[in-house]
Amino acid sequence: MALTGLEIFKQLPKTNCKDCGLPTCLAFAMKVAQGQAGLDACPHVSDDARSNLEAASAPPQRLVQIGEGDKAVKVGQEVSLFRHDDKFNNPTAIALRIADNDADIDGKCAAAAKLSFVRMGMTLTPDLIAVHCASGDAGTFAGAVAKIDSKLGWPMMLCGDKPDVLKAGAAKIAGKKPLICPSGGNPEDFVGVAKEAGGSLALMGTDPAKLAELTTKIKAAGLEDLFIGPGHVGIAAALEFLTKTRRAAVKKNCRELGYPVVTCAIDEDPQQATVNACAYVLKYGGVVVTEAFEPWQMLAILTTRQNIYTDPQKPVQVEPKIYEIGDPGDTAPVLITTNFSLSYYSVESEVESSRVPARIIAVDTEGTSVLTAWAADKFNAETITEAIKKSSVEGKVKHKKVVIPGHVAVLSAGIEDESGWTVMIGPKEASGLVPFLKNDWKP
Ligand code: SF4
This prediction's pTM: 0.79
Q: Which of 8, 10, 16 to mutate to test the pocket of ligand 1 (most atoms within 8 A of CB)?
A: 16
What is the secondary structure of 327-355 as a DSSP string?
---TT--EEEEESBHHHHHHHHHHHHHHT
Q: Does the CB atom of residue 18 touch ligand 1 within 6 A?
A: yes
Question: Residue 290 has what pLDDT?
Answer: 98
Q: Does the CB atom of residue 355 touch ligand 1 within 6 A?
A: no
Q: Does the CB atom of residue 165 touch ligand 1 within 6 A?
A: no
pLDDT tens string, the chain, 443 residues long: the values are 567 889 889 999 999 999 999 999 999 998 887 767 778 889 999 988 888 887 766 778 999 999 999 999 999 999 889 988 878 989 999 999 999 999 999 999 999 999 999 988 889 999 999 999 999 999 999 999 999 999 999 999 999 999 999 999 999 999 999 999 999 999 999 999 999 999 999 999 999 999 999 999 999 999 999 999 999 999 999 999 999 999 999 888 898 999 999 999 999 999 999 999 999 999 999 999 999 999 999 999 999 999 999 888 888 899 999 999 999 999 999 999 999 998 999 999 999 999 999 999 999 999 999 999 999 999 999 999 999 999 999 999 999 999 999 999 999 999 999 999 999 999 999 999 999 999 999 88
Q: Does the CB atom of residue 28 touch ligand 1 within 6 A?
A: yes
- Looking at the CA of residue 15, tell me the nearest atom of ligand 1: 7
- Looking at the CA of residue 17, tell me the nearest atom of ligand 1: 4
Q: Which residues contact 304 (CB under 8 A, 6 or more apart)?
A: 278, 281, 282
Question: Residue 35 has what pLDDT?
Answer: 65
Question: Residue 207 has what pLDDT?
Answer: 94
Domains identified in the chain and CATH numbers: 5-57 (1.10.15.40), 63-308 (3.20.20.20), 322-440 (3.40.50.11600)
Q: Does the CB atom of residue 12 touch ligand 1 within 6 A?
A: yes
Q: Does the CB atom of residue 20 touch ligand 1 within 6 A?
A: yes
Q: Which of 9, 17, 39 to mutate to test the pocket of ligand 1 (most atoms within 8 A of CB)?
A: 17
Question: Residue 57 has what pLDDT?
Answer: 66
- Nearest Cα residue to atom 3 of ligand 1: 20
Distance 36 CA to ligand 1 centre (A): 15
Strand partners, 151: none
- What does the buried/exposed string (b/e) look like for 66-104 if buried means 16 or more CB atoms within 10 Å of the residue's CB? bbeeeeebebbbbbeeebeeebbbbbbbbbbbbbbbbee
Question: From residue 192, how far is each of 62, 150, 200, 226, 373 by CA, in Å?
Answer: 20, 25, 11, 13, 57
Q: Does the CB atom of residue 13 touch ligand 1 within 6 A?
A: yes
Question: Residue 33 has what pLDDT?
Answer: 79
Sequence-ordered strand ranges (E) for 252-311: 261-264, 285-290
Question: Residue 318 has what pLDDT?
Answer: 93
